Amino acid sequence: MRARRPMLAANWKMYKSVAESQAWAEQLKAAVVEEGIGADRDLIVAPTHLALWAVATVLADSGVAVAGQTLDLGVEGALTGAVSAYLLRQAGASWVLVGHSERRQHFGEDDALVAEKAKAARHAGLGVILCVGETEAERAAGATWSRLTQQLEPVVARLSPADWAAMAVAYEPVWAIGSGRTPSPEEIGEAAAGLRQWLAAAVGPTAEATRILYGGSVNEQNLPEFWRQPGVDGALVGGASLAVERFLAMARIPLVPGGGTQ
Ligand code: 13P
């Protein structure tokens, strides 16, 4: 038995109209029904906020979960343009991405705000995919590990140990996102092992239940090698998730029950 249920998550970023999102979800649902895809792993789709309800409606009862790509703090209120964890849940989300590097880079989200968002999401009962990763300059300076722990520490400080059973940590090196470049499978395995060891020390035994994902230029060709690494529970996929056939190819990768891929 695997220690944790494998996970494959699609992050569509600012792509797909509502109609395109619905069509993708319908094709995925057909494969789930016909082939039993997703029986041995969690499948999660993160559409734009606009398409979230439509996608969740198509995927209701399919076992495929829907995630928000970000959230704002608060519940309801006079906050023009904001979307809270509560509203995401009401629209059908059961997960949310927090701390994606594009949010950090283009929307000024710092480590403390990211941690507050993780707390708000957990408070509303959402599972959280917490994204962490180093820039190319940080990697070159040998600061990868200190950057990762710097991102994790404020989250650990705000959550209870029990929350970590409903958390996934996505290791997404910033330089690997959308670049076609990735760390080697062994480096990804080492990062996952390091993250779990750090979490176990910081959080305690519930860290055993936290899924650790890799993200950054994942595709149907390289994912089997990444998934084969002990301690890598799955992937967060951007560009290669946009075509449903490519996501299905990744969702069909045979997994060995004890860990790894066939
Ligand atoms: P790409 O798979 O397009 O590199 O994006 C990764 C990512 O940012 C997923 O959140």
One-letter identity of residue 33: V
**Average per-residue pLDDT in the chain?**
96
The fold adopted by the segment(s) 7-14+67-240 is TIM Barrel (3.20.20)
Residues annotated as catalytic (active site), given as ranges: 100, 172
What dihedral do alpha carbons 179, 180, 184, 189 form, nearest 10°?
A: 70
11 lines ligand 1 (CB under 6 A): yes
Least confident of 1-10, 23-32, 73-82, 152-161: 1-10
Domains of the chain, residue spans: 7-14+67-240
- Residue 106 identity (one-letter amino acid): H
Is the confidence at residue 258, as pLDDT, over 70? no
What pLDDT sits at residue 186?
Answer: 97
Rounded-to-integer distance, Cα 164 and Cα 83, Å: 23
Confidence of residue 261 (pLDDT cuts 50, 70, 90): confident
pLDDT tens for each residue of 210-247: 999 999 999 999 999 999 999 999 999 999 999 999 99
Site to substitute for ligand 1 among 177, 182, 219, 247, most atoms within 8 A of C-beta: 177
| Pairwise CA distance, residues 181 & 127, whole Å | 29
Count of other CB atoms within 10 angstroms of residue 11: 26
Joined tokens for residue 261: 């891929």
> According to the model, what pLDDT value does residue 262 have?
66
241 lines ligand 1 (CB under 6 A): no
CB 31 within 8 A of CB 246: no
206 lines ligand 1 (CB under 6 A): no
Contact indicator for 114, 104 with CB cutoff of 8 Å: yes
The best mutation among 104, 217, 221, 223 to test binding of ligand 1, ranked by most ligand atoms within 8 Å of the C-beta, falls on 217
The answer to whether residue 48 scores a pLDDT higher than 90 is: yes
Interval 104-149: pLDDT, tens: 999 999 999 999 999 999 999 999 999 999 999 999 999 999 999 9
